[in-house]
Structure 1
Amino acid sequence: MNDSTKGILIAFALLILGALGYWWWHDQMELRWTSVQRESSLASADPMLAATRLLRQNGRSVNGAGSLGELVVPQTGAGTMIVSGASGTATPDQARELLEWVRRGNTLIAEPRWISPAEKALVVETGASDDAQVEEDPEEEPEEEAEAEEDASPAAAGEDASTTDEAPAAAGESAEEKSADDEASADPADNDKDPLTDHLGVRARTDALACKCRTEPDEKDKKKPEAIAAAKRAREQALSRLTLPGRSYALELDAGTTEMVSLQGAVAPLWSDDDGGAVRVYAEGKGRIVLVADGYFTNSKLPQRDHAQLLLALTELTPGKHVTIVKRLNVLPWYKALWRHYKLVLISLAACLALLLWSALRRFGPLLPAPKAERRSLLEHIDASGAWLWKADGGRQVLLEAARDDTLALIRRRVPALFRMPEGELWATLARTCALPEADVSEALQQDAASHVTRFTRQIRTLQTLRNHYER
C-alpha cells in the first residue's frame, strides 16, 4: 500500500470520527427546548375548567356544582345546565326537577344512557335507529313546535311499524316468531330506566363501523386498495357535521366511537347533525333538551374540531346568560345531606330523646329487694337441668323414672302391704284410694314417658298426687 492510499484512509477515518464526535456533542451536550404536555391540578380536579373559562370570556355567568345531589334545581338560575357524563344515572326525583326546570324555558345538555342488550336487539331487528325525522322550521314558536312534534311522532311511529313489518318478511320469519322475539326483547321491566330521556326514546351505543374503520392496518398492507379505502372511510367517519339553525356553514364535530340511536316510537328531534348520531335537540315545554353522544366539552375534547363553537351556540338557545355546570353525578356527601335535611335530623333526634326519657321513667320508684342469690341460683339450675333433659335424647324418661321411683319408695315405706298384691290390683287400689282414674295411675307408674307435653305433665301430676296422699 503506497503513501497516497494510506493518507486517503486516514483522512476518511478522521472524517468519520469527527462526524461521530459532532453527533455525540449535539445529542448529549446541547440544550434544546422540548414541549411536554402536562395537566394542571385545577384541570385535574375540574374536568369542565376549560368550558367554564370559555363561557366566562364570552359574557356568560357560570357557576358549578360538584354533583346533582348538591344542586337545588328549583332555585337554579334561568339559562343553560350542562350535566357532564350523565349517562342515565339521574334519579327519578332529580329527573323530574330537571324536566320541570327545562319546561320553564331553559336548556339542558346531557348524555343518554347506554343501550341494553334487549334494546339493542330490538333496534337491530326493527331498524328503528333510522327513524329520526328533523323538523323543517326550527324557528317557529314553542306552541307551533309542540304541534309539529305531535304531528311528527305518529309519522315516525308509523314508519317504525312499517319497517318492523318488512324486516321479518325479508328475513322469512313467521308472525309467531316475530311476536315471540318482540316480547322477549322489548320487556321494559328487565331494563334499567333512564328517567331523564326515556320519554325521548334515545340511547347511546358503540359505533361499530367507526371502530372498524379506525383500526390501523399492517405496514405491508397500507398501500393496498382496500387499506386506502378503509383509511378514506375512517376520515369520513371521524367527523360529524352539524348545521345550526340560521347558519350557512356546518360545524365539524369529532364523531368518536359512540353514536345515538332511536328506539321504537322515539320522539323526533327539532334538529340534529347529519346522521343524528352526535347531537340532537328536542323541545321540552318552552325549553330545549340537547343530547350529545360524547363529552365534547371536557378539558381534553373542547379544543378539538368546532366543539367550543358548538358549546357557545347551545348556550344561546334560551335567552338566559346563566350557565350551570354539573361536574359529576356522585352522591351528596353525608355532612351536606345532613345540613340539607336538617328537619328530618331534628325530628329523629327528638324521637330518640323521647324514647330514652320514656325508658328512664320506667326506672323511677323504690328499688325492689334483691332475691337471695343461693335460692335463685338453685332454681335456675333446676330449671336449666329440666329444660336440657326435656330436649336431650332419653331425658324425658330419666325425669319420669326419677319421679316414679321416688313415689313408689314413699308408698312402700308407708304401706308395704300394698306391694303384696298383683300389679293390676295394686294400680286399681291406688287409683281408688287417691280418687284418680285407673288409666292415669297405670300410665304414670307403668308406661314410658309421653312425647307430648300434656300427657307427660299428666304423668308427673299423677305421681305428685300419689306422693301428697301418702305423705300425710
Structure 2
Amino acid sequence: MSDSAKGILVAVALLLLGAFGYWWWHENMEQRWVSEAHTSSAASADPMLAATRLLRQNGRSVDGAGSLGELIVPQTGAGTMIVSGASGTATPDQAREVLDWVRRGNTLIAEPRWISPAEKALVAGADDEEEAEEETEDDAEEEAEAQAAGDDASTSGEAAPPPGDASGGNAASAAPAAPAAPEAPEADDDSDKDPLTEHLRVRTGVDALACKCRTEAKEKDKDKPEAIAAARLAREQALSRLTLPGKDYALQIDADGNELVGLPDSPAPLWSDSDGGAVRVYAEGKGRIVLIANGYFTNSDLPQRDHAELLLALTELTPGKHVTIVKRLNVLPWYKALWRHYKLALTGLAVCLALLLWSALRRFGPILPAPKAERRSLLEHIDASGAWLWKADGGRQLLIEAAREDTLALIKRRAPALFRMPEGELWATLARTCALPEADVSEALEQDAASHVTRFTRQIRTLQTLRNHYER
C-alpha cells in the first residue's frame, strides 16, 4: 500500500474517533435542561385540585367533602355538585336528599356504575330485536314489489313466477323467515349500588369499537395504507364533539376508553355529545343531572381537549355559583356518624339509663340467696310425709296432736299464769287475746282431728295464729 493511501486511512480513522469522542462528551458531560413530569403532594392527595383552582379563578366558590355522608345535603349551597369518583355507594336516604336538592334547581355531575353482564346481554338482545324488525320490514317491501311485478305480468298475458319461487307459489312462503331475537336475561337487581342515577337507566361500558381500532393499528405495519386508515379511525373514535345549547361551536371531548350505555327503558336526554357516549344531560325537576363516561375533570384529564371549558359550561347550567366536590360515595365511619347524629345518640343513651334505673328500683333490700338443695329436699320430704299421714289410719290425729302440743308448750313457756285458770276460761282468754272465735280455739285445742279438709285446715291455722301471737 502506498504512503498516500495509508495517510488517507489514518485521517479517516482520526476523524471517526474525533466524532465519536465529541458525541460521547456531548451525551455524558454536557448539562442540559430536561423536562420531567412531577406531581406535587397536594395534587396527589386531591385528584380534583386543578378543577378546584380553575373554578375559583372563574368566580365560583368551591367546597370539598371526603364522602357524600359528610355532607348535610339540605344545607348545601345552591349550584353544582360533582361526584368525582364512582367508588363506594350511596344509601337510599342520601340519594333521596341529593335528588331533592337537584330538583330545587341545582346540577349534579356524576359517573354511573359499570354495566353488569346481564344488562349487557339485555342491551345486545334489544339491538338484535331492532335489527330483526328492520330485516322484516325490508322483506315486506321486497315482497310487495315482487307482488306488483307479478300483477303486471298477469295482465300482459305472461305467467311469470315470482323471483326465487320455481314452483310459482307465493313469495312469502319461499322467503326465509327472520330469525327470532334471543330472549335476553333480566338485569340484575343492582339498583342499591347506584341509587343516584338508577332511575335514568344509564351505565358505563367499554368502547369496544375504539379498542378494536387501536388494536388493529398496533398489530399492522404502520407504513401500510390500511394501518394508516385504522390509526385515523382510532383517532376519530377517541374524539367526541359536544355543542352546548346556545353555542355555535363544538367542544372536543376525549372519548377514548369508556362510553355511556343506555338500557332499553332509558329516557332520552335533553342534549348530549355527538353519539351520546361521553356526556348526557337529563332534566330532574328544576335542575339537571349530568352523566359523564370518564373522569374528565381530574388533574390528569382536565388539561386534555376542551375538558376545562366543559367544566365551566356545566357549572353555568344553574344560577348558583357554589360548587361542591365529593371525592367518593362511601358512607360515614361510625364515629363521624355518631358525632353528626349526636341527638339520636344522646336520646338512646338516656333511654338506656332510664331502663337501667327502673330495673334497679324494682328491688328493695339485699338480694336473697338462692335456697340450698338440701332445704328444698327437706320440704319435699315433709310434704310427702304429711300427705302420707293424711291418708293413713290415725295420721290426721297424729298431726293435730303434734301441732297442739307444740303450741301449748310455747304458750306455757311464754305465759305460764294462763294455765292456772280453768280449761274453759283458758280457751276464752286465748280467743279474746288473739281475736279469734272461741269455738275455733276450743275446736283446735280439745277436739279430735276433723275428717274434712277445710275444717282440718282451720284447726291448723288457728294453732298457727296462737303460736305466732305468743312468739312475738
**TM score, norm. by length of structure 1:** 0.65
**Could you tell me how far apart the structure 2 residues matched to 1:233 and 1:218 are?**
13
**Could you tell me how far apart the structure 2 residues matched to 1:365 and 1:313 are?**
77
**Could you tell me how far apart the structure 1 residues matched to 2:200 and 2:370 are?**
74
Partner of 2:133: 166
**Could you tell me how far apart the structure 2 residues matched to 1:281 and 1:116 are?**
22
Deviation at 1:55, TM superposition (A): 0.5
**Could you tell me how far apart the structure 2 residues matched to 1:219 and 1:126 are?**
33
Structure 2: which 5+ runs fail to align?
Answer: 138-176, 378-391, 393-472
**Could you tell me how far apart the structure 2 residues matched to 1:96 and 1:239 are?**
35
Contact 1:116–1:191 under 8 Å retained in 2: no
- 2:50 is the alignment partner of 1:50: yes
Contact 1:88–1:194 under 8 Å retained in 2: no
**Could you tell me how far apart the structure 2 residues matched to 1:117 and 1:124 are?**
10
**Could you tell me how far apart the structure 1 residues matched to 2:237 and 2:59 are?**
34
Aligned partner letter, 2:249: Y
**Other structure's SS at 2:210 match:** helix
Partner of 2:295: 295
Deviation at 1:80, TM superposition (A): 0.9
Deviation at 1:12, TM superposition (A): 2.6
Partner of 2:342: 342
Q: Call closer, same or farther: CA 1:193–1:248 in 2, change over 3 Å.
A: same
- 2:19 is the alignment partner of 1:19: yes
Q: Call closer, same or farther: CA 1:22–1:336 in 2, change over 3 Å.
A: same
Which segment drifts farther, 231-240 or 339-348?
Answer: 339-348
Deviation at 1:307, TM superposition (A): 0.3
Q: Call closer, same or farther: CA 1:308–1:164 in 2, change over 3 Å.
A: same
Q: Call closer, same or farther: CA 1:325–1:220 in 2, change over 3 Å.
A: closer
**Could you tell me how far apart the structure 2 residues matched to 1:225 and 1:319 are?**
51
Deviation at 1:202, TM superposition (A): 1.4
**Other structure's SS at 2:215 match:** coil
Aligned partner letter, 1:243: T
Deviation at 1:208, TM superposition (A): 0.4
Partner of 1:201: 201
Q: Call closer, same or farther: CA 1:219–1:211 in 2, change over 3 Å.
A: closer
Q: Call closer, same or farther: CA 1:337–1:243 in 2, change over 3 Å.
A: same
Deviation at 1:217, TM superposition (A): 4.0
Contact 1:88–1:197 under 8 Å retained in 2: no
Q: Call closer, same or farther: CA 1:97–1:241 in 2, change over 3 Å.
A: same
Structure 1: which 5+ runs fail to align?
Answer: 129-161, 380-433, 435-472
Deviation at 1:3, TM superposition (A): 3.3
**Other structure's SS at 1:52 match:** helix
Q: Call closer, same or farther: CA 1:348–1:224 in 2, change over 3 Å.
A: same
- 2:64 is the alignment partner of 1:64: yes
Which segment drifts farther, 256-265 or 193-202?
Answer: 193-202
Identity %: 76
**Other structure's SS at 1:291 match:** strand
Partner of 2:405: none
Q: Quick check: which has more Rg, 1 or 2? A: 2
**Could you tell me how far apart the structure 1 residues matched to 2:216 and 2:29 are?**
38
Partner of 2:284: 284
**Could you tell me how far apart the structure 1 residues matched to 2:66 and 2:49 are?**
12
Partner of 2:78: 78
Q: Call closer, same or farther: CA 1:93–1:107 in 2, change over 3 Å.
A: same
Partner of 1:404: none
Aligned partner letter, 1:224: K
**Could you tell me how far apart the structure 2 residues matched to 1:190 and 1:34 are?**
50
Q: How does 1:233-244 map to 2 (within 5 A)?
A: 233-244=233-244
Aligned partner letter, 2:71: L
**Other structure's SS at 2:283 match:** strand
Q: How does 1:25-424 map to 2 (within 5 A)?
A: 25-86=25-86, 89-127=89-127, 163=130, 166=133, 172-174=178-180, 181-182=183-184, 185-187=185-187, 189=189, 194-215=194-215, 217=217, 221-357=221-357, 365-366=365-366, 368=368
Q: Call closer, same or farther: CA 1:338–1:87 in 2, change over 3 Å.
A: closer
**Could you tell me how far apart the structure 1 residues matched to 2:118 and 2:88 are?**
17
Contact 2:92–2:192 under 8 Å retained in 1: no
Contact 2:282–2:290 under 8 Å retained in 1: yes
**Could you tell me how far apart the structure 1 residues matched to 2:369 and 2:206 are?**
79
Q: Call closer, same or farther: CA 1:369–1:292 in 2, change over 3 Å.
A: closer
Q: Call closer, same or farther: CA 1:20–1:223 in 2, change over 3 Å.
A: closer
- CA distances 1:124-143 after superposition (whole Å, capped 9, x unpaired): 12139xxxxxxxxxxxxxxx
**Could you tell me how far apart the structure 2 residues matched to 1:246 and 1:218 are?**
40
Which segment drifts farther, 249-258 or 111-120?
Answer: 111-120
Deviation at 1:322, TM superposition (A): 0.9
Q: Call closer, same or farther: CA 1:331–1:19 in 2, change over 3 Å.
A: same
Deviation at 1:88, TM superposition (A): 8.4
Q: Call closer, same or farther: CA 1:100–1:357 in 2, change over 3 Å.
A: same
Contact 1:88–1:113 under 8 Å retained in 2: no
Q: Call closer, same or farther: CA 1:2–1:270 in 2, change over 3 Å.
A: same
Contact 1:89–1:113 under 8 Å retained in 2: no
Aligned partner letter, 2:57: Q
Contact 1:87–1:111 under 8 Å retained in 2: no
Q: Call closer, same or farther: CA 1:278–1:217 in 2, change over 3 Å.
A: closer
**Other structure's SS at 1:337 match:** helix
Deviation at 1:192, TM superposition (A): 5.5
Deviation at 1:197, TM superposition (A): 1.8
**TM score, norm. by length of structure 2:** 0.65
Contact 1:125–1:167 under 8 Å retained in 2: no
Q: Call closer, same or farther: CA 1:87–1:113 in 2, change over 3 Å.
A: farther
